[in-house]
């Protein structure tokens, strides 16, 4: 591996020039000025729960330029959904959250569409609503959001579970290992707490935008800003409209951030396009993105840990109540996959019960970390609580319990590529764990350090394909079906191809974003692109090299296996000083070989043959994930005990990426994760008033700005390389792990600074002040010395 020439180098992003010059194309740039294009707008429900009595569209239809006003009557009768078939494109009888779609208008101008929207008169009968998941979960809960739930099709049955404790619960996911009761009996110390996380928004910079074009042959071309041209665009449109995949062509361009968001402007564009037979463009406002983007699933987490005096974890019981909002969407899978994070420690007795609950809040979905950041919020605070109670060093406690390479984890998987210990060491050393803080505490400003360790699995049950075209001028086209959501994957994939072919990365062109033109891929999800698509591309490059050798064989008078293609040359293995340029294969008139003008096409596919879904009763299986990426965060904070404000002074991350194909891009992911992690820890929360989002804009919503982040010298991202035997050149995915430990690391630091432990996210000044006040009161009661 020491001879790698492109992998491991900080190649400048292939899209840098296009992005800095403003010429990179995004979905909203499509069809500007195109004659005949219609503009679509959606009418959203103003009520969290209501029966639709009537919809009067007569005045809306008369607005000049309006081509269609569509309501629930115009959509398929069958409900659909990713996991539970519980949703109509447009509400048919009831609305279930503030933002449920009620009507779509398509008009020749945006102004006409907006005018028509305002003229639609909907009569509602407001129904009692439920916003609290624990309340909604009670068997006697009077609000039954989906009365037909038992009749709904549940598409991911093993993940959804079968013993549902209430009429509003759609998911009960279980993991069982050993016997927790027995474990707790063996324990010397039991720690038990309740935690909660907030509903937060992806806040990707590009608002959802889509153009749907109907063809006369019944096919639809959908261009959209949603990631994953096959699964996120094509498959979804197929599901909603009952079309076979070959009738839907998904197109994506550059995407201005994603983080798991799925705003689905394309569903409304497609509906209007099908009904009018004309191209329709739908662009969401920032406000619409907030309540339609399937925010991060809020959880209430009851965590109970049992531990021996020496720090050995013996039992963990965890119950999660997840507020999924009005439709299940992808949350059953988020809930199930959130359980993988627990695998980093050796815990012989483990019990996990997670409940997905309907409420009248906006629906949740995927969010960077896919269900893992929430349990870590609880679990990594517990590790510090336990360490303190046992008077152990919290680094040492974690190191002691870390699962080892080759060891079976609590799901039954054999652990491989385990860089967590090194990650912990790296951040502890950089932050100066056990040494003084960078600035002293004052009377009112308390400074301290904290850290946490987390991980993010990569999904196993997907497939990636790639085509590689070696052109006669030595340039190489790489075709694949994943998406560029800003993470730089095209650059990383180009590096993998360049390394495998032995050509400069400047010669690689990466082509993606069109289901009718590129091979299938499951998409830019689950931090899987580098591993899955990278492996598929590598295989395709190897195919090209085989083809080069086979084609050169008669020309060079050697068996194909005696030849080796590398760096645009074909070498004799027996005598590497002799070679022929690959370009000679394209010489005109070389009758024994390729005619001029041709290309060499190779293909590759990557998937796991032996994966399983896991046993539905115990969650056990031998191959449930493709890989785990470990991330440790260490942070130094200054807490102003008078204002409750927390300032992050220094931040360090260390991430086990398997192999950094492009270190700078890995660091960029780490830095972005830290920023998003700080936001989720301290500021971000969708504030809801009876289901209505109050702060759905960048002014009122608390995304951190540069001023809230540590400066360059106070921010450090380490990369650890525990090569994965199945990754391309050893690489694993790493984008999502980047924010999973941030919130508990900051919570641990705040505790170390102030002695107050916050169990609810975000750790806002209000919450912190309240906790400090309670602490003072308690201290007063106890009247001991501070």
663-678 and 742-754 helices, crossing angle to 10°: 50
Residue 611 beta carbon to a second copy: minimum distance, rounded to whole angstroms: 6
394-401 and 373-390 helices, crossing angle to 10°: 110
Q: Are 377 and 301 in contact (CB under 8 A)?
A: yes
420-431 and 394-401 helices, crossing angle to 10°: 170
**How far apart, in whole angstroms, are the C-alpha atoms of residue 31 and residue 709?**
38
- Kindly tell me which residue out of 465, 553, 680, 723 binds a second copy, with binding defined by CB under 8 A: 465
Please, which residue, 296 or 522, has the CB nearer to a second copy? 522
- Kindly tell me which residue out of 142, 151, 244, 406 binds a second copy, with binding defined by CB under 8 A: 244
Residue 608 beta carbon to a second copy: minimum distance, rounded to whole angstroms: 8
Residues 517-556 that bind a second copy (CB under 8 A): 517, 519-520, 522
Q: Which stretch binds a second copy (CB under 8 A): 169-177, 238-246, 337-345, 483-491?
A: 238-246
Residue 697 beta carbon to a second copy: minimum distance, rounded to whole angstroms: 28
- Kindly tell me which residue out of 230, 241, 327, 350 binds a second copy, with binding defined by CB under 8 A: 230
Residue 279 beta carbon to a second copy: minimum distance, rounded to whole angstroms: 11
Residues 188-227 that bind a second copy (CB under 8 A): 215-217
Residues 6+ apart with CB under 8 A from 664: 10
Please, which residue, 244 or 785, has the CB nearer to a second copy? 244
DSSP symbols for 148-212: TGGGS-BTTHHHH-S--SSTTEEEEEEEEES-HHHHHHH-SEEEEEEEE---B----SSPPEEEE
Q: Using the rule CB under 8 A, is 687 a contact of a second copy?
A: no
Which tokens sit at 464? 């990636």
Residues 327-366 that bind a second copy (CB under 8 A): none
373-390 and 742-754 helices, crossing angle to 10°: 30
DSSP symbols for 523-581: -S-TT-IIIIIHHHHHHHHHHHHHHHHHHHHHHHTS-GGGEEEETTEEEESS-TT-EEE
Site string for a second copy, 478-517 (x = CB under 8 A): -x---------------------------x-x-x--x-xx
Residue 202 beta carbon to a second copy: minimum distance, rounded to whole angstroms: 24
- Kindly tell me which residue out of 399, 611, 703, 760 binds a second copy, with binding defined by CB under 8 A: 611
Q: Which stretch binds a second copy (CB under 8 A): 573-581, 598-606, 654-662, 753-761?
A: 598-606
Q: Using the rule CB under 8 A, is 592 a contact of a second copy?
A: yes
**How far apart, in whole angstroms, are the C-alpha atoms of residue 738 and residue 674?**
7
**How far apart, in whole angstroms, are the C-alpha atoms of residue 259 and residue 680?**
13
Q: Which stretch binds a second copy (CB under 8 A): 3-11, 199-207, 608-616, 765-773?
A: 608-616
Q: Using the rule CB under 8 A, is 557 a contact of a second copy?
A: no
Q: Using the rule CB under 8 A, is 622 a contact of a second copy?
A: no
Q: What is the DSSP letter of 739?
A: G
Q: Using the rule CB under 8 A, is 605 a contact of a second copy?
A: yes
- Kindly tell me which residue out of 3, 77, 163, 597 binds a second copy, with binding defined by CB under 8 A: 597
Please, which residue, 479 or 701, has the CB nearer to a second copy? 479
Which tokens sit at 103? 């009507």
Q: Using the rule CB under 8 A, is 463 a contact of a second copy?
A: yes
Residues 19-38 that bind a second copy (CB under 8 A): 21, 23, 32-35
Q: Are 96 and 145 in contact (CB under 8 A)?
A: yes
User: Which value, to the nearest 10 degrees, does the dihedral of the CA atoms of residues 590, 593, 595, 598 take?
Assistant: -140
Residues 442-461 that bind a second copy (CB under 8 A): 461
Which tokens sit at 520? 């299938």
Q: What is the DSSP letter of 786?
A: -
Strand partners, 66: 107
- The binding site for a second copy (CB under 8 A) comprises 17-18, 21, 23, 32-35, 215-217, 230-231, 235, 244-246, 461-463, 465, 467, 469, 471-473, 475, 477, 479, 507, 509, 511, 514, 516-517, 519-520, 522, 589, 591-592, 594-595, 597-599, 601, 603, 605, 607, 609-613
């Amino acid at each position: 591996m020491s001879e790698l020439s492109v992998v491991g180098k900080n190649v400048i992003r292939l899209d840098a020039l296009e992005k800095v010059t403003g010429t990179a194309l995004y979905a909203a740039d499509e069809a500007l000025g195109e004659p005949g294009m219609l503009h679509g707008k959606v009418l959203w429900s103003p009520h969290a729960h209501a029966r639709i009595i009537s919809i009067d569209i007569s005045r809306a239809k008369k607005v000049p330029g309006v081509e269609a006003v569509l309501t629930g009557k115009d959509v398929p009768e069958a409900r659909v959904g990713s996991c539970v078939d519980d949703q109509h494109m447009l509400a048919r009888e009831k609305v279930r959250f503030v933002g449920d779609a009620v009507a779509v208008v398509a008009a020749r101008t945006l102004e006409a569409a907006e005018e028509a929207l305002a003229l639609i008169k909907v009569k509602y009968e407001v129904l009692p609503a439920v916003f609290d998941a624990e309340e909604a979960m009670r068997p006697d809960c009077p609000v039954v959001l989906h009365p037909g739930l038992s009749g709904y099709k549940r598409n991911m049955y093993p993940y959804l579970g079968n013993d549902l404790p209430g009429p509003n619960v759609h998911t009960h996911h279980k993991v069982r290992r050993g016997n927790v009761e027995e474990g707790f009996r063996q324990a010397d110390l039991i720690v038990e707490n309740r935690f909660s996380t907030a509903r937060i928004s992806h806040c990707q910079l590009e608002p959802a935008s889509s153009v749907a074009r109907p063809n006369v042959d019944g096919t639809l071309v959908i261009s959209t800003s949603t990631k994953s041209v096959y699964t996120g665009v094509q498959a979804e449109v197929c599901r909603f409209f009952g079309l076979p995949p070959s009738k839907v062509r998904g197109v994506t361009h550059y995407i201005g951030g994603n983080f798991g968001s799925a705003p689905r402007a394309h569903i409304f564009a497609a509906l209007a396009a099908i009904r009018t037979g004309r191209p329709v463009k739908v662009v969401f406002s920032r406000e619409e993105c907030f309540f339609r983007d399937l925010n991060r699933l809020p959880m209430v987490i009851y965590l109970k840990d049992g531990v021996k005096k020496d720090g050995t974890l013996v039992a963990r019981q965890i119950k999660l109540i997840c507020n999924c909002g009005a439709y299940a969407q992808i949350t059953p899978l988020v809930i199930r996959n959130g359980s993988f994070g627990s695998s980093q420690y050796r815990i012989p007795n483990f019990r996990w019960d997670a409940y997905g609950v309907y409420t009248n809040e906006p629906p949740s979905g995927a969010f960077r970390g896919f269900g893992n950041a929430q349990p870590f919020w609880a679990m990594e605070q517990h590790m510090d609580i336990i360490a303190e109670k046992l008077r152990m060093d919290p680094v040492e406690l974690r190191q002691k319990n870390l699962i080892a390479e080759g060891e079976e984890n609590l799901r039954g998987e054999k652990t491989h590529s385990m860089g967590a210990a090194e990650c912990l060491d790296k951040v502890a050393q950089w932050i100066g764990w056990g040494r003084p803080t960078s600035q002293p505490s004052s009377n009112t400003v308390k400074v301290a350090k904290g850290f946490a360790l987390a991980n993010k699995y990569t999904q196993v049950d997907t497939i990636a394909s790639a085509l590689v075209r070696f052109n006669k001028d030595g340039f190489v086209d790489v075709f694949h079906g994943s998406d560029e959501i800003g993470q730089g994957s095209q650059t990383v994939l180009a590096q993998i191809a360049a390394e495998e072919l032995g050509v400069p990365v400047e010669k690689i062109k990466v082509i993606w974003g069109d289901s009718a033109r590129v091979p299938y891929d499951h998409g830019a999800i689950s931090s899987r692109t580098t591993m899955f698509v990278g492996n598929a591309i590598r295989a395709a490059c190897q195919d090209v090299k085989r083809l080069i050798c086979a084609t050169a064989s008669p020309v060079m008078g050697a068996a194909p296996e005696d030849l080796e293609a590398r760096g645009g040359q074909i070498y004799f293995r027996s005598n590497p000083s002799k070679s022929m340029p690959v370009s000679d294969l394209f010489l005109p008139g070389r009758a024994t070989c390729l005619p001029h003008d041709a290309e060499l096409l190779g293909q590759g596919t990557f998937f796991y043959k032996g994966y399983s879904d896991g046993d539905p009763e115990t969650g056990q299986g031998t191959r449930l994930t493709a890989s785990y990426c470990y991330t440790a965060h260490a942070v130094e904070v200054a807490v102003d005990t008078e204002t409750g404000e927390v300032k992050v002074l220094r931040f360090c991350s260390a991430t086990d990426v398997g192999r950094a194909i492009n270190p700078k891009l890995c660091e960029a992911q780490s830095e972005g994760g830290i920023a998003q992690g700080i936001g989720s820890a301290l500021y971000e929360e969708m504030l809801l008033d009876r289901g209505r989002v109050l702060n759905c804009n960048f002014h009122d919503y608390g995304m951190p700005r540069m001023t809230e982040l540590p400066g360059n010298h106070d921010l450090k991202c380490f990369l650890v390389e525990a090569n994965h035997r199945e990754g391309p050149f050893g690489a694993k995915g790493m984008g999502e792990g980047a924010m999973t430990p941030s919130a508990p690391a900051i919570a641990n630091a705040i505790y170390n600074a102030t002695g107050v432990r916050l169990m609810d996210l975000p750790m806002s000044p209000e919450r912190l002040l309240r906790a400090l006040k309670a602490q003072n009161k308690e201290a007063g009661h106890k009247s001991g010395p501070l």
